[in-house]
Amino acid sequence: GQNIDQPTEMTATEGAIVQINCTYQTSGFNGLFWYQQHAGEAPTFLSYNVLDGLEEKGRFSSFLSRSKGYSYLLLKELQMKDSASYLCAVEGGGNKLTFGTGTQLKVEL
Amino acid sequence: DSGVTQTPKHLITATGQRVTLRCSPRSGDLSVYWYQQSLDQGLQFLIQYYNGEERAKGNILERFSAQQFPDLHSELNLSSLELGDSALYFCASSNLPGSTNEKLFFGSGTQLSVL
């Protein structure tokens, strides 16, 4: 089976840096995704990691350690519009993508 | 705009009823995925179709069924509805049958309320 854990909610200040962690236990591993979802809207793709290490894309970076079953999403220079739910998703055996319950990030002034 | 179209946007119905949710994937995408999202749960994978054939099955109840038509649009049928079926139902599409590095494009969802 698949088990994905992420914090339920986090709060950070505008302009700061925040790290959202995700740990997973899956049968098979074909990659890890991060999606952003604003309330009542569709999830949108942020990043993809399949090899260990850091992938940087603008203000967002994502890290993966396959041996530890661990990933994090790093958001820099936080903006108010970054307030959203961040979903960690793992593609396991059978190419099935399983989502975590998401981390609700609140960015404050 | 992801290019994935879902209708209707909102649906209100009563327990015991049956509804059909519709999804048109992005132009050129062959795979359609259905997900259910409740308030207290993450996105739960229901079922995937690729080019008209069922590809993968998740936690889909027997009361639910889906199909993908020759024009690649898909329908999710929910029957004998219960209060607990109230949720946001998302459709997503991709070009490949299900593989690494293939991000999903999500529709805006159908909010189902069972009263």
Distance to chain B for A93, nearest Cα, Å? 10
Give the residues of chain A that fall short of pLDDT 50: none
Q: A86 is written with which tokens? A: 């961040």
Q: Which of B45, B106, B111 sits opposite A42 (nearest CB)?
A: B106
In sequence order, what are the residues at sequence separation of 6 or more whose Cβ sits closer than 8 angstroms to the Cβ of residue A81? none
Rg (CA), chain A: 13
Tokens of A3: 């088990």
pLDDT at A93: 73
| Interface with B, mutate which of A32, A44, A97, A101 (most B CBs under 10 A) | A97
pLDDT in tens, B25-39: 999 999 999 999 987
Closest-CA residue to A88 (of A14, A27, A41, A37): A37
The pLDDT of B74-85, averaged and rounded, is 97
Q: How far apart are CA A39 and CA A104, in angstroms?
A: 10
Q: Is the pLDDT of residue B79 over 90?
A: yes
Q: How far is CA B67 from CA A68, B7, B22, B92, in A?
A: 38, 15, 10, 14
Residues with Cβ < 8 Å from B9, sequence gap 6 or more?
B108, B109, B110, B111
Mean pLDDT value of segment B43-60: 90
With an 8 Å Cβ cutoff, is A11 touching chain B? no
